């Protein structure tokens, strides 16, 4: 049985379906089949057999290879479920009878696991309404501890690692292209492929930054709701990828993206967003938001590829084929949505009263999102030079702050933003945007360029604003706004009542810059995900 002798495996599988095959109470024995394995649930234990397949991304064609990957499965999965993965057991055959253990050479190997109750699976708990924020927070802590383990040697060649990511994406498309026109809509498929490869081409530095920040780890690789269990002994996560290291050595955002995508596929969008927000917070990784949609699209393609392979296996019934076809279609639609979200340029307006922390927040967001920050203070000085009076003596609506100068400043900001967006870049506008007329211009720009628009309004109590303005008397700042100008700005600030959620987020900048960034990125992320179904 060290080749593709599926007839021998069918005989073995018939034997393993018999409770008498096992040295412990096993009745009734049930089985589950995937595209790469056959799993037998026998009493308190589970036995997994690897199929003798070569699918390109895995090779189980010899007994020696299957034995090796059984050992790897035990070793790797004990990281997240040590008490579940028990041993690799040999299967022997004497006089035509298969035995678990027994005398003589092994003809097959099985991974022996402790059986976990189906009712503890995250998939079951979600459907029964028993997963809420507390369980999601616990899961985020579990994953943060896992991703926080020593990563081994740092990446020596960022380009080589990037090439692996691009190669994995290309492999997915190459291995599923033959299903277009039959199981996959050709136009949707081509759109996902084009958006994915364009993102890789345009955002290479985002991947490099993730590597430099040590966000690439030896992860799980197949993190889905069916592999997460909430047991009375704690959270257990099973079935990591053992058959191909390049599917496991990856950005933690790819691991989390798989679980979030799976939750959203099931219809639990808000809980998925809560999971990503919690993980970003506890791992101190706000950069995850810039990558998560790309990786969710990648993972949706992985799932449809697996289902396409399974669909065409000879033992699959027509009923199962129909169910797989529905899943394939939905995963392709999700992949397209995520790919568009990842690739779409952002146009973010960081606005609010002077001294509300706009520029600090804009700079922080610009660095994290690799977006160009366009500041009204800087643009105004480039256009008109410095004011003729000292900051305290400036009368706003005169000199470089005249209405014409202000209008020209905003026009120049939007012209520069339009040029950047049309190149495919994202932009953060840093200005008070106190007048509705200027905000309407931004809305029109977003509509004509199809950019993702978000108004981020920095808010503070008046007393705090006044103190910050007063402190500027002894500080070097770009803005000329001072305490003497507070009442003028307060009177002329037109509330953002015309910009409703989800396009408007208020941020209390009394909080830390990290908390403000998290509020913006998590809020924006929640508002760009697919509707619950």
Q: Is residue 533 part of a domain?
A: no
- 109/187 same-domain check: no
| Residue 379 binned pLDDT confidence (cut-offs 50, 70, 90) | very high
pLDDT tens column, 398-418 = 777 788 988 999 999 999 999
Q: Which pLDDT score, from 0 to 100, does residue 393 have?
A: 56
437 and 356 in one domain? yes
Q: What is the pLDDT of residue 34?
A: 87
Containing H/E element for 112? strand 106-114
Instruction: Assess whether pLDDT exceeds 80 at residue 353.
Output: yes
Looking at the domain assignment, is residue 531 inside a domain? no
164-200 burial: b if 16+ Cβ within 10 Å, else e: ebbebbeebbebbeebbeebbbeeebebbbebbeebb
Q: What is the average pLDDT across 118-143?
A: 96
- Closest Cα partner for 361 from 446, 284, 431? 431
Q: Which of 343, 359, 377 is the last residue of a domain?
A: 343
Interhelix angle for 376-384 vs 403-422, to 10°? Answer: 110
Return the ∠ at Cα 112 (arms to 107 and 118), rounded to 5°: 135
Write out pLDDT tens, residues 133-149: 999 999 999 999 999 87
Same domain, 257 and 140: yes
- pLDDT score, position 150: 61
Number of domains in the chain: 3
**What whole-number percentage of the chain has pLDDT above 90?**
78
* Mean pLDDT, rounded, for 184-189: 97
pLDDT at position 487 over 90: no
Domain residue limits at 53: 6-115
281 lies in the same domain as 160: yes
Q: Is 196 in the same domain as 305? A: yes
- Domain final residue pick, 88, 115, 142: 115
pLDDT, tens only, 261-281? 999 999 999 999 999 999 999
Instruction: Give the span between the Cα atoms of 452 and 449, in whole angstroms.
Output: 9
> Do 427 and 447 share a structural domain?
yes
End-of-domain residue from the set 98, 115, 132: 115
Q: Tell me, yes or no, whether 1 lies in a domain.
A: no
Mean pLDDT of 114-126: 97
What are the tokens at 260? Answer: 């979030």
pLDDT higher than 90, residue 436: yes
My answer on whether 247 and 353 are in the same domain is no
Report how far residue 180's alpha carbon sits from residue 197's, in angstroms, rounded to the nearest whole number: 18
- DSSP bridge partners of 359: none
pLDDT in tens, 36-64: 999 999 999 999 999 999 998 899 999 99
Q: Span 369-398, mean pLDDT?
A: 80
* Angle ∠(136,270,511) on CA atoms, nearest 5: 75
- Residue 142 in any domain: the answer is yes
Same-domain pairing of 100 and 151 = no
Rg of the Cα atoms in the chain: 28
The reported pTM is 0.89
What is the pLDDT at residue 384? Answer: 83
Which residue in this structure is represented by tokens 């979600």? 126
CA dist 300 → 249, 271, 310, 339, 507 (Å): 18, 18, 15, 10, 33
How long is the chain?
533
Rounded to whole angstroms, the Cα distance separating 98 from 371 reads 63
The answer to whether position 472 is within a domain reads yes
Q: 70 and 186 share a domain?
A: no
> With 80 as the cut, is the pLDDT of residue 439 above it?
yes
Tokens of 525: 């992320």
User: What contacts 475, CB < 8 A, 6 or more positions away?
Assistant: none
Please choose, from the candidates 66, 86, 56, the residue with its C-alpha nearest in 3D space to the C-alpha of residue 242. 66
d(CA 52, CA 10): 12
pLDDT of 510 above 80: yes
Q: State whether 235 and 88 are in the same domain.
A: no
CATH of the domain at 95: 3.30.200
């Amino acid at each position: 049985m060290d080749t593709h002798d599926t007839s021998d495996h069918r005989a073995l599988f018939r034997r393993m379906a018999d409770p008498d095959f096992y040295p412990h109470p096993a009745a009734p024995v049930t089985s589950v089949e995937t595209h790469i394995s056959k799993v037998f649930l026998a009493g308190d234990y589970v036995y997994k057999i690897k199929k003798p397949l070569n699918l390109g991304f895995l090779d189980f064609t010899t007994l020696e290879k299957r034995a090796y990957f059984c050992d790897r499965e035990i070793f790797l999965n004990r990281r997240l479920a040590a008490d579940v993965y028990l041993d690799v057991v040999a299967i022997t055959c004497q006089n035509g009878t298969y035995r678990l253990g027994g005398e003589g050479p092994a003809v097959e190997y099985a991974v022996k696991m402790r059986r976990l109750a189906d009712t503890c699976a995250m998939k079951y708990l979600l459907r029964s309404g028993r997963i809420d924020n507390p369980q999601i927070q616990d899961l985020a802590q579990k994953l943060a501890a896992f991703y926080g383990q020593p990563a081994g040697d740092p990446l020596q060649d960022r380009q080589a690692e990037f090439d692996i990511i691009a190669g994995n994406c290309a492999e997915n498309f190459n291995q599923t292209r033959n299903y277009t026109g039959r199981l996959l809509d050709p136009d949707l498929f081509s759109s996902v492929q084009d958006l994915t490869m364009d993102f890789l081409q345009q955002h290479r530095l985002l991947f490099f930054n993730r590597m430099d920040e040590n966000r690439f780890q030896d992860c799980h690789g197949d993190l889905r709701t069916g592999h997460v269990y909430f047991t009375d002994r704690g959270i257990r996560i099973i079935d990591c990828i053992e058959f191909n290291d390049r599917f496991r050595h990856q950005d933690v955002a790819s691991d989390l993206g798989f679980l979030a995508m799976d939750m959203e596929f099931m219809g639990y969008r808000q809980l998925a967003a809560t999971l990503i927000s919690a993980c970003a917070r506890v791992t101190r990784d706000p950069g995850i938001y810039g990558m998560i949609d790309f990786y969710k699209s990648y993972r949706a393609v992985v799932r449809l590829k697996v289902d396409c392979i399974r669909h065409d296996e000879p033992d699959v019934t027509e009923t199962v084929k129909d169910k797989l076809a529905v899943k394939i279609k939905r995963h392709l639609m999700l992949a397209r949505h995520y790919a568009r979200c990842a690739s779409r340029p952002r146009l973010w307006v960081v606005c609010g009263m002077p001294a509300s922390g706009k520029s600090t927040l804009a700079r922080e967001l610009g660095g994290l999102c690799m977006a160009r920050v366009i500041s009204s203070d800087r643009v105004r000085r480039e256009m008109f030079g410095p004011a003729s009076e000292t900051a305290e003596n400036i009368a706003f609506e005169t000199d470089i702050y005249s209405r014409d100068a202000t209008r020209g400043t905003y026009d120049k900001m939007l012209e520069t933003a339009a040029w950047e967006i049309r190149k495919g870049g994202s932009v953060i506008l840093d200005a008070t945007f106190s007048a509705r007329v200027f905000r309407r211009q931004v809305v029109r720009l977003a509509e004509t360029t199809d950019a993702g628009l978000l108004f981020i309004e920095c808010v503070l109590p008046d007393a705090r604003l006044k103190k910050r303005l007063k402190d500027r008397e002894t500080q070097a700042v770009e803005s000329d706004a001072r305490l003497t100008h507070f009442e003028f700005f307060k009177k002329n600030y037109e509330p953002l009542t015309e910009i409703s959620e989800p396009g408007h987020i208020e941020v209390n900048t009394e909080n830390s810059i990290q908390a403000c960034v998290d509020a913006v990125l998590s809020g924006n992320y929640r508002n760009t995900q697919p509707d619950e179904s």
